[in-house]
Chains A and B, each alone.
Chain A
């Protein structure tokens, strides 16, 4: 009887291990050529200024069938900020805004993924900007996964949208004339690591 119980326990453990190993998320790396982190900010009420970060890196752990297991870690070089105007970019790199000398990196680390639809979800995470870490939530749309006909590599693609208040991170200069609320537009492709 003892032997039968031991065998059953061993089988159950092995089987569970096999299931969990099969469901493990797959590691991907962000493809910088097809990833864009864009921000939109109100400029004195006249228009919305648009900028982007040109140097973005990150890892994605992706499980299509169990999205709650997915994780995302992103690191952005703040000095890569680009608004298509060199002098304005100089200002954005100064202590008034991104303070790139003291805070060269902006990071996002996911904490939870909520499924809200077939291809949509909410990505909860912690954004660290100017040395301040705050929780943020992004609305994410899963676009597609599979072998890219261009690169022949396993690829997943996502779009994300969200809003943050820059003053929450201590970026207070010019607010509210230069908008406090920042709209984030993220388009990303990640290739299997």
Chain B
């Protein structure tokens, strides 16, 4: 899938003013030291996956695995998207 598009969607969903897709490395951690995102951002990513790709994650634990980086998100979307 188009990782730049995914980054753009993440930036919009999380309202990351001042950040561009180029600022986000494909394999860099999104949480913790990476962009400095918190648990509410993770919840927004649940909504993003549902709205954009028709994917409903089961729980926060699954979310933690999927949201490790843009790479892991893209991989999961490719395998599970329903739209």
A and B co-occur in one complex:
no
